[in-house]
Every structure is written in structure tokens, then in C-alpha cells.
Amino acid sequence: MVAWTDFERVTIKDIFSKIDYEVVGPAAISRCLIVYPWTQRYFAGFGNLYNAAAITSNPKVAAHGKVVMQGLEKAVKNMDNIKATFTELSTLHSEKLQVDPDNFMLLGDCLAIVVAAQLGKDFSPEVHAAFQKFLAVVVSSLRRQYY
């Protein structure tokens, strides 16, 4: 059981109410594919990922970004049981998609940076820390079903 402070609960819900999923999701995924190009290995079927411009304008990348945000929203709605919420997704990433779990935090870091750019000064060190903790819990839950 993760112990969330009141501040963390309020902050996480507040962040997710403020950000535009249609913008943040695609931006985070494309940043991940651009900044850490080896992550492209999991997206061979996505078409043109040749350079930053191609990745940013790729519709499959954008669509996947939204899927990721919807997944994260489930965690926001179930903060007291993120582990159980992501059991199936964890199995999927492990057995079917075969994603190296060390990559999860790469996407997490890109998401932090995109949210930071969106919220500017509102993304204070304390708000940022709450978000990093949330990401760490999500990543840990996604790692759980790997063996």
C-alpha cells in the first residue's frame, strides 16, 4: 500500500485536471522516441520515425500518446490500488510487448518535462516531487508482473 499525503492526492488530481491529454500524451511519447531513440524498437509498425519532425507529426504516435494518458487516468482514479489497476497492463508489457521495464521511467521523465513546460511556475518543486512519486508508483506497478 502506497502512503499518499493529502497534498500528494490533491496535487496529482489537480495536475491531471489541468493538462490536455490530447497534447501531453502525444508530446511525451514523441519526446521519448526522439530523446531516447532506442525506444523506437517497440514501435516498428508505426511508420515514419526517421527524424524529430516525422515523429512529432506521426498520427500513430499521437494516438498511442492518448492511450497512455487514458491508462494513467485509471491510476489517478485508483490511487490506493495502482498495483491491481495495472496487473493486466503489466502482463501485456511483459509477455506480449516484451518491453524492457527500464524504459518505463524514460517515458515517465519525458512526461514530467512535458507537464513542466505546460504548467511553468505552477509546477513547483513540491508539485513536481508528488508527480515523480506518482510516476514511480506507476512504473513499479508495471514492472510487477515481469519474471
Note the residues at the interface with other proteins (CB under 8 A).
Answer: 30-31, 34-35, 52, 55-56, 109, 112-114, 116-117, 119-121, 123, 125-126, 128-129, 132-133
Q: Which of 91/103 has CB closer to other proteins?
A: 103
Between 72 and 111, whose beta carbon lies closer to other proteins? 111
Rounded CA gap, 28 and 23, in Å? 9
Distance of alpha carbon 141 from alpha carbon 103, whole angstroms: 14
Report d(CA 146, CA 63) in Å as an integer.
Answer: 26
In the complex with other proteins, which residue's Cβ is closer, 100 or 122?
122
| Residue 99 beta carbon to other proteins: minimum distance, rounded to whole angstroms | 20
